[in-house]
Structure 1
């Protein structure tokens, strides 16, 4: 057998056409679009690391006709410290391409050019575009120069770091406008595709072609063709190699290179067996970090979780695959709570990166077993422990219970009249005895609503108003008495002042002296008993002398509540009301519509509904003060 150098090298591109496999669709794309490319736009070859982008550019010259001269500029080997280093690297590669094409290069200028004393040195951009490329294109004698920038995505971090100007893409696009016989082809890593689309030069996705894994047939050709006449594989070994590496060219080259070395150690005596493949798996797994480590670092957490779940299920059920529900169940069982939508999005991203594949039954599988081995050996995801109850979880509950107890205590205090008593003390009234009223239910409800205190009102208006309207002053006097069953008729006396500045008046109410006054007791509200419906008769309340202290007038008349210990009854906000005295202790209130002011203008409780009031026949009539 003839000794040959190792034809497999995962780190170097395939330059020899005999070892290059297929990619016919990619070359068809270039042939169709080079002649009809949009003016000032570049063709882009996009693919992940290790799929053979550089190898495709090396083979591009052999796939085009003689009208094109391909100049490969390997930016991965060039210095991108500054713009001058980049342009000088391009000039050297163009010179080499012209030599290989048989064109003269002796007229190509050198940098920096010679200038006369006192003459300013041109910029390197102007020199390259006007002087160098003009002579290079002329030397091609009508042929088109294709500048193929390999690993062009390296310009993005160079721009970000400030080594290369941010308009370098516009400068490269301008070369095609200045020189119509120059075309630009770039290879870009898939991780930079979004940034590439953001540039004017690469903004047209129609001029992009994507490189993917090899088909199973092409992968088998890549494994066997370079060994023809040198070595052979034992039966079943090729299938096992494809199972380990899938159609990924880097992984295929890595495994086959290791197998070729083992066969070379025994001078290629005998076939390459299954034992050889098992022996090189650890080394192949270590070399696969060149591909998987960057992908893992770029993954989101849900992508790592989905891939780890698929690897774990593949170990438990080899080759069976897993559905989306299987992956979700596994993740939930290990303390993670992503929903199926999040997992589905993560799996789509992994499919785009070539790390998972889906079959017709919607089952996800791994395209290469080396993926499972690398994830399990190098970067297993840390399983979050299932959350256990802790004492800290009860802290919010205790706080909630305490808040509820406080609210309940405040509600009970309001119900028992604690806040009403405070309001009475503030207004100067004395607490009255317990009284039982026999009132109409509807009239009592309206009267109670109209006599709500500021603390008991469901709503209150804190902004003072300037509208002067007669307000209702309810004065309740409580004096229990026991009488046979007289019937009193109350008469309402109204005092109305039309002036915007109300005057302070005394409203007098006279009541008969009670026979005896029992010890008063405090109750939250009067007890309501049923009485006959009021008849339509004039309201004549029993008058009791009750001086009303009027504080300093203010611009806002509001409701003022005053309570005294006088056994009187206030008519409900209807036309008439009849009060029937019983031997029980009774409590009545006198409603006197008057224009009064509040002692606290900053807090104005304004009732939403007020009872209908009968206007006074004489607005200026004021009762004289009794001695």
Structure 2
């Protein structure tokens, strides 16, 4: 933050992922203490900042009417920016009852009352559908989605940091982009792996080429397996089925383009059928997550590293409700009918008296005619 904004901005970074708070007062107190710590590092005098009365349980009132007014007086016209990382945690804390339901409304009130207060919030994309719950502090028009790096941005990240020591060719940078799809963490790993490779190579080099990217690819693949597993675990069932289908289709016939029809046919043959509407929706979701590319109906993976991981790990997941495939229904129906016939025959036979035993029923009276000679 400080690298891009001058001293008129005071940034307070606070990661929330591993934080534990028991109440809103605890959380607001952490905000206040974190702000004071940054101001202290910047040599601001903090003796005028009010201390919260231990008997005062209204942390909201203290923050709004005592702490922030004095804090803005101390920084004298500068802009205070709270940089909250992993703010999906706030949503979870509200659901868990650790924060009141109107907490985002309270934060919105602070921003509106203090014009020099800004809040920048970052969260994982899996919370994207819950952004409306952060109203009125956040609206969908306030959101900026951080996408993967473009090919030009990947080239810059790979080439510029080391340009005074050695060069990485444009072809090598393009190979890194093909392997990573511009995922920043993967690109950084390639940069680090190539740098380490340069330190141990026996032959002095001034430029790295595609062959060098291939040499370090296995190292980056191993370093990234946990990331790919996380992506897989957080992907929906239908999207997993598509990823598996695309992987197997590309292995079975690398020269044939994968399309929605081929995916549908493969899933039917694998006893995991999805209708075309569901498949198209899953394709759009995977495109949105930048895992696949759909070029005029031809579907492919954006990252070759991800494709390798899927080839080694992707498996069809058991459906929550399984249905019997049509070819098997006839066999099962025939078996049921046969069982019923056997039961009926057993019942009928059991009702017949044994052949060699007299009947146990009472004999009916008869007339005997005697003829006298």
Measured at CA, do residues 113 and 266 of structure 1 come closer, stay the same or move farther in structure 2, by a change above 3 Å? farther
Q: CA deviation at 1:235?
A: 6.9
2:33 is the counterpart of 1:92? yes
* Residue 212 of structure 1 pairs with residue 147 of structure 2: yes
Q: Is 1:293 equivalent to 2:233 in the alignment?
A: no
Q: Provide the residue aligned with 1:138 in structure 2.
A: 73
Does the 8 Å contact 1:305/1:381 carry over to 2?
yes
Instruction: Name which of structure 1's ranges 311-320 and 372-381 shifts more when overlaid on structure 2.
Output: 311-320
Q: 1:277 and 2:213 equivalent?
A: yes
Q: Specify whether residues 268 and 85 from structure 1 end up closer, same or farther in structure 2 by C-alpha distance, changes over 3 A only.
A: farther
User: Conserved in 2, the CA contact under 8 Å of 1:196 and 1:202?
Assistant: no
Higher-Rg structure is 1
Q: Give structure 2 stretches of 5+ with no counterpart.
A: 343-373
**Residue 274 of structure 2 aligns with which residue?**
338
The 3 A distance-change label for structure 1 pair 139 and 74 is same
Q: In structure 2, what is the equivalent of residue 352 of structure 1? A: 288
What TM-score, normalized to structure 2? 0.77
Question: Number of matched residues?
Answer: 336
Q: Which residue of 1 aligns with 2:187?
A: 252
Separation of aligned partners in 2, 1:272 and 1:180? 51
- Cα deviations by residue, 1:16-71 (Å, 9 ceiling, x for unpaired): xxxxxxxxxxxxxxxxxxxxxxxxxxxxxxxxxxxxxxxxxx3xx55456654333
Evaluate the alpha carbon distance shift between residue 99 and residue 317 of structure 1 in structure 2; reply closer, same or farther with a 3 A threshold.
Answer: farther
The 3 A distance-change label for structure 1 pair 400 and 67 is farther
Higher relative contact order (CA 8 A, sep 6+): 1
1:328 to 1:83, Cα distance in 2 relative to 1, 3 A: same
Q: For the structure 1 residues 221 and 157, does the alpha-carbon distance in structure 2 shift closer, same or farther, using more than 3 Å as the test?
A: same
Residues 82, 258 of structure 1: alpha-carbon distance in 2 compared, 3 angstrom cutoff? farther
How far residue 219 of structure 1 moved from its aligned partner, in angstroms, is 1.0
Cα distance between partner residues in 2 of 1:89 and 1:319: 57
Q: In the alignment, which residue of structure 2 is the partner of 1:392?
A: 332
What residue number does 2:359 align with? none
Cα 1:380–1:224 shift into 2, 3 Å? farther
Deviations 1:326-358 (A, max 9, x none): 222332333332222221111111111111122
**Displacement of 1:377 after TM fit?**
1.8
User: Contact conserved, 2:155 with 2:170, CA < 8 A, in 1?
Assistant: no
Residues 112-191 of structure 1: pairs in structure 2 closer than 5 A = 112-113=52-53, 120-191=55-126
- 1:402-431 CA-partner distances (Å, limit 9, x unpaired): 9xxxxxxxxxxxxxxxxxxxxxxxxxxxxx
- Displacement of 1:401 after TM fit? 9.7
Q: What is the Cα deviation at residue 381 of structure 1?
A: 2.5
How far apart, in 2, do the equivalents of 1:181 and 1:105 lie?
A: 18
Number of the residue aligned with 2:47: 106
Cα distance in 1, alignment partners of residues 220 and 102 from structure 2: 42
Asked if the contact 1:231–1:268 (Cα under 8 Å) also holds between the matched residues in 2, the reply is no
- What TM-score does the superposition give when structure 1 sets the normalisation length? 0.48
Say if 1:317 and 1:243 are closer, same or farther in 2 by CA, change over 3 A. farther
Higher helix fraction: Structure 1 or Structure 2? 2
Contact kept? 1:78, 1:89, Cα under 8 Å: no
Q: Secondary structure, in 3 states, of the residue corresponding to 2:291?
A: coil
Distance 1:70 1:389 in 2: 65
The corresponding residue for 1:364 is 299
Q: Which runs of 5+ in 1 are unaligned?
A: 1-57, 115-119, 403-627
Q: Which residue of 2 aligns with 1:458?
A: none
Q: Distance in 1 between matches of 2:60 and 2:237?
A: 45
How far apart are residue 259 of structure 1 and its match? 2.3
